[in-house]
Amino acid sequence: MRILVTLKVVPDLDLLRDKKWTIKNNVPVETAYVKRVINTYDESALELALKMADRRKKIGLETELFALTIGESYAALFLKKLLALGFNQTYWVNSDLDLRFNPEAAASIITSFVLNYGPFDLLIMGMQSSDGDNARTALLTTEELAWPCITGVTKFYSDQADLVAVENLSDQGSIEQTIRTPCILAVGNAPGSLLRVPTLKAIKKAAEKDINILAPEELNARPEDLLLKSTARLQALENVENIREGIAIEGASAEEKAQLLYKYHLKGWLSGK
Amino acid sequence: MKCTVIINACSPAFLSRAEEAASFLQAHRSAIGGSKAEAGEAIVFYAGDNIKETIISSLPFRVIHLVKIKHYQPELVLDILTELEKTEPADTYIFPGDLSGNELAVRFARRFKGSSLVAVEKIETSAGKLKGIKKVYSGNLRGSFIFLAKPYCFSLAKGMNRLNAAIPEEQKTISCHDYSGKPEHPSIAEYRETRSPQEDEARLESANIVLAVGRGAGSGKEISRLIDIARELGAELGVSRPVVLNAWAPMDRLIGASGSVISPEICLTLAVSGSPPFYYGIEKSKKIIAVNNDDNAPIIKAADLVIIEDYKKVIKALLEIAREENDK
């Protein structure tokens, strides 16, 4: 079974939570200097793919894992890590185009990759990334490829050819379904999906492996066409104002602070029974 | 301008989502640009006749198209919606801010060569163009986007205001479509809804006091202890995403952009760092009180009141005080 996982390398926005951002040309200046991480939903997608490969290996089934990322040069470091974790091939589409608010373009590149470098049985994606907050790339890719899609995925495995058992959360509750491949799984809040850490030995071994680097043109994705794909164009960015005051409750001990909190703010609200 | 709202009545929370959509419509009627009669049609997917009367009597829309299905399977629903709308699509489609709304908004727009946005807070018109405004960069910034192609399809942000205005049934126009016999989508080999959940989620969304606990709690055992304490204090317990990813608490208790958006009188956060997606889930609370021993945690600047302390000591003291008060 051939599985493709897409990932996006993003600035760690948790580090900027209490900052007032400077915006220039509709791009926040600060994020360029912030350390990079794998987008959290994509991290879950990668870990669930590894878990699935582990399970298949135990019952003697082969799995080939592929990873694809688009964008900045930081990506290479993360792709090396994935090689160390057991991914067979990693691909970096080297593009300096700003696709943060152009999920249509991202979906078009991913679709072209799937069609040109496939066949793949499964395409696993995160549901949303933290910088664009678009939550559209996986859904647009599903329409481009005309593959079925399951969103909110929390767990999946495949012990039989052409079929994947999937658990996901929906508005109706938890759903267990078996879906025919090829299909797209958009991973949501999946318990137990923090990405594992490679061993030192695996890291050294992966250092010798190459990352496949592609130019967008190799996927028939001309920059001028990609920019035209957006259907909702960003016009302006502004800061979100924080109206809370952050007044500290002072006291000599935790007990004293708790007394003050209770007396002035919680009395009448807590039941104590 | 024709505007249609799409509702998934297979979701237990459908009425709240419909009231949010109706309130949004009312607040943005001039931007959507329709008369009362034109704006505010709803297409409602439902399964099971027992819910039909509730939909007709409770939904705050004047024109309701009821679509009966076997169960809410997105591929199937999308195909039905495409079929229903292909001859005379609306100019604007509004979807609720739930999982099905987000998915349908994007995929339906793509099928009709329109434009889509997810989690829109408001819309405006400027120079004849419709703009959607929504949070980006994990809630740190707000972006305005111009919709470039009709139909304009968007889902709403979570936790929007609700319109609770009953419309008499005799003023409603109802049409019925039965797709319950339509075969399962060919990609699905087996489909089973295993848990009709969200009891915790529903309790969280209606609670007056919520204890919100973060990764700093450290273990599933501690979360279980805090659930008991919350119960004793008459509060509900919600958690941040890392707690769920560590499998210390079930998904129903998740607060944040991808979980519940709560609006209690008081939200007491314990060992929560205050990452933007989490804060999104509590920012509608009337009062936010943060207890954290790290005075550099982002939540400290985003709360009304803060206590810099080990939360375990504070919660122990609060529990003792509440018990004493209760015994009086």
- Residues 134-193 of chain A whose Cβ lies under 8 A from any Cβ of chain B: 134-136, 139-140, 142-144, 148-152, 154, 163, 169-180, 183, 188-193
- Residues 188-227 of chain A whose Cβ lies under 8 A from any Cβ of chain B: 188-194
Tokens (6 digits) for B61? 């829309």
Output the pLDDT for position A64: 98
* A254/B232 Cβ within 8 A: no
* A169/B245 Cβ within 8 A: no
What residues in A contact B132, CB-CB < 8 Å?
232
Q: Is A273 on the interface with B (CB under 8 A)?
A: yes
Output the pLDDT for position B37: 44
Cα separation, A60 vs A159, in Å, equals 10
pLDDT beneath 50: ranges in chain B: 37-38
Cα separation, A159 vs B173, in Å, equals 50
CB of A11 closer than 8 Å to CB of A131 = yes
What residues in A contact B116, CB-CB < 8 Å?
136, 231-232
CA distance readout (Å), B148 to A179, B129, B130, B245 = 35, 8, 8, 37
CA nearest to B198, candidates B7, B8, B12, B10: B12
What residues in A contact B147, CB-CB < 8 Å?
231-232
Output the pLDDT for position A26: 77
Cα separation, B194 vs A175, in Å, equals 6
Q: Which residues lie across from B95 on neighbouring strands? A: B155
Output the pLDDT for position B204: 85
Smallest Cα distance from A190 to chain B, Å: 6
Cα separation, A260 vs A251, in Å, equals 8
CB of B258 closer than 8 Å to CB of A189 = yes
CB of B72 closer than 8 Å to CB of A170 = yes
CA nearest to A103, candidates A235, A219, A8, A230: A230
Tokens (6 digits) for A144? 């481009």
* A257/B322 Cβ within 8 A: no
Q: Which residues lie across from B212 on neighbouring strands? A: B238, B269
CA nearest to A93, candidates A145, A48, A111: A111
Tokens (6 digits) for B143? 């972006």
- Determine the Cα angle at B274 with ends A76 and B304, to 5°: 155
* A169/B141 Cβ within 8 A: no
Output the pLDDT for position A272: 58
Tokens (6 digits) for A206? 């992966």
What residues in B contact A187, CB-CB < 8 Å?
none
Coil vs helix vs strand at B265: coil
Q: What is the ipTM of this complex?
A: 0.92
- Residues 10-69 of chain A whose Cβ lies under 8 A from any Cβ of chain B: 13-14, 16-18, 21, 23, 28, 31, 40, 44
Q: Is the peptide bond before B197 cis (omega within 30 degrees of 0)?
A: no
CB of B241 closer than 8 Å to CB of B265 = no
* B131/A269 Cβ within 8 A: no
Tell me what the pLDDT averaged over chain A comes to: 91
What residues in A contact B137, CB-CB < 8 Å?
13, 21, 28, 31, 130-131, 133
* A127/B251 Cβ within 8 A: no
* B190/A143 Cβ within 8 A: no
For an interface test with A, the pick among B108, B245, B279 (most A C-beta atoms closer than 10 Å) comes out as B245
* A171/B189 Cβ within 8 A: no
The pLDDT tens digits for B26-68 are 889 888 875 554 457 999 999 988 889 889 988 889 899 999 9
Q: Where are the alpha helices (DSSP H) in A74-176?
A: 75-85, 103-117, 137-145
Long-range CB pairs of B51-60 (<8 Å, 24+ gap) are B51/B9, B54/B15, B55/B9, B56/B169, B56/B172, B56/B174, B57/B169, B58/B15, B58/B18, B58/B166, B59/B7, B59/B15, B59/B18, B60/B18, B60/B19, B60/B22, B60/B163, B60/B164, B60/B165, B60/B166, B60/B167
Cα separation, B27 vs B56, in Å, equals 23
Residue B127: CB partners within 8 Å, gap ≥ 6?
A: none
Count Cβ atoms below 10 Å from residue B88 Cβ, excluding itself.
7
Based on C-alpha coordinates, what's the Rg of chain A? 22
pLDDT beneath 50: ranges in chain A: none
Residue B113: CB partners within 8 Å, gap ≥ 6?
A: B149
Tokens (6 digits) for B210? 């919520």
